[in-house]
């Protein structure tokens, strides 16, 4: 039985992602920043309330904020990242969004 | 949630809630910058709809907190409004007074430190209820 040669796939313009497409696909991070006045227990409550995180996960993220100065608490599309950031700011935390590098 | 605050505690809460309500309405209020931080610092301006939504939510929480100041019991939404508004008040106080490091906090005047500690204590106790 003759071997079947694999088809050579020709590249087209649609196969190559443009820089813009790659740019928009990079996820957006929600970043919470440390400050000297916010009680740690309040940060945990806020993370649990807004994200529905378990106590363990919320505490782990809070400790990351505390020790490293900031923590990425959520990652995904820009619209949702912005919405979460607003919720965290409404709850009184220092928060921003940034696109992953 | 049962509210067990003495007159001093309610006075501190009243002051904090009142300032947040005032700061939302008055761009000249010293706490106003603390209520309008950037969402995406990589852009010159944030999405106006997002900032408007934030403004409305902070105001709604603060107004609910003011309305329920005299209550003996709070439901979940009211307790969340108290916690959020107290936390906003705490951060706004810190920003307005440059308390952005442990050193600056330790060096601030006693009256300001007392206010910060009172709000923090209220927050500690509220957080235990969630």
Main-chain phi, psi angles of A61, to 5 degrees: -65, -40
Query: How high is the pLDDT of residue B4?
Result: 84
pLDDT at A8 over 60: no
Read off the pTM: 0.88
ipTM given for this complex = 0.94
| Chain A touched by B62 (CB under 8 Å) | no
Q: pLDDT, tens digit, for every residue of A70-97?
A: 999 999 999 999 999 999 999 999 999 9
Q: Which positions in chain A touch B80 (Cβ < 8 Å)?
A: 49
Tell which residue, A89, A62, A42, has the closest CA to residue B124: A42
Scanning A49-88 for CB atoms below 8 A from B yields 49, 82-83, 85-87
**Contact yes or no for B116 and A93 at CB 8 A:** no
Is A30 within 8 Å of A75 (Cβ atoms)? yes
Sign of the torsion formed by the C-alpha atoms of B66, B68, B71 and B77 = negative
Residues in chain A: 101
- B120 vs A37: CA distance, rounded Å: 8
Does any domain span residue B112?
yes
Q: DSSP secondary structure string, chain A?
A: -PPPPPPPPPP-GGGSPPHHHHHHHS-EEEEEE--SSS-HHHHHHHHHHHH---HHHHHHHHHHHHHHSEEEEEEE-HHHHHHHHHHHHHTT--EEEEE--
Domain that holds residue B76: 7-127
What does each of the 130 residues of chain B score in pLDDT, given as a tens digit?
A: 888 888 888 999 999 999 999 999 999 999 998 899 999 999 989 999 999 999 999 999 999 999 999 998 999 999 999 999 999 999 999 999 999 888 999 899 999 999 999 999 999 999 999 9
Does B12 fall in a domain?
yes
Which pLDDT band holds residue A22 (cuts at 50, 70, 90)?
Answer: low
In whole angstroms, what is the distance from residue B115 CA to residue B121 CA?
A: 10
CB contact under 8 A, B90 and A96: no
Query: Cα distance from B39 to chain A (closest Cα, Å)?
Result: 5
Binary contact (B94, A93; C-beta < 8 A)? no
The predicted pLDDT at position A6 comes to: 54
Residue B1 located in a structural domain: no
Q: Which residues pair with A97 in a beta bridge?
A: A30
Examine residue B18 and state whether it is found in any structural domain, yes or no.
yes
Q: H-helix or E-strand containing B130?
A: none
- Number of structural domains (chain B) is 1
* Neighbouring C-alpha atoms within 13 Å toward the C-beta of B81: 21
- pLDDT at residue A72, as a whole number: 98
The pLDDT value recorded for residue A24 is 62
Q: Which of A45, A86, A87 sits opposite B130 (nearest CB)?
A: A45
| Within a domain: B2 | no
pLDDT of res. B33: 86
- Domains of chain A are 25-99 (3.30.1390.10)
Q: Kindly state whether residue B123 falls inside one of the protein's structural domains.
A: yes
Q: Label residue A21 by pLDDT band (50, 70, 90).
A: low
- Which residues of chain A neighbour B130 with C-beta distances below 8 Å? 45, 48-49
């Amino acid at each position: 039985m003759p071997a079947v040669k694999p088809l050579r796939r020709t590249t087209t313009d649609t196969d190559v992602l443009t820089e813009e497409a790659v740019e928009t696909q990079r996820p957006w991070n929600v970043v919470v920043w440390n400050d000297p006045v916010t009680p740690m227990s309040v940060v945990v409550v806020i993370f649990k309330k807004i994200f529905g995180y378990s106590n363990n996960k919320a505490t782990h993220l809070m400790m990351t904020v505390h020790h490293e100065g900031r923590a990425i608490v959520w990652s995904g599309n820009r619209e949702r990242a912005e919405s979460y950031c607003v919720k965290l700011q409404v709850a009184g935390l220092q928060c921003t969004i940034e696109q992953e590098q | 949630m049962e509210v067990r605050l003495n007159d001093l505690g309610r006075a501190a809460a009243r002051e904090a809630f009142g300032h947040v309500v005032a700061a939302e309405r008055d761009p000249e209020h010293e706490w106003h910058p603390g209520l309008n931080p950037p969402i995406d610092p990589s852009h010159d301006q944030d999405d106006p709809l997002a900032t408007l939504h934030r403004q409305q939510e902070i105001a709604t929480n603060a107004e609910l907190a003011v309305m329920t100041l005299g209550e003996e019991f709070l439901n979940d939404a009211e307790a969340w409004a108290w916690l959020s508004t107290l936390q906003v008040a705490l951060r706004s106080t810190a920003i307005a007074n440059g308390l952005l490091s442990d050193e600056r906090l330790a060096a601030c005047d006693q009256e300001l430190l007392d206010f910060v500690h009172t709000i923090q204590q209220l927050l500690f106790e509220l957080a235990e209820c969630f």
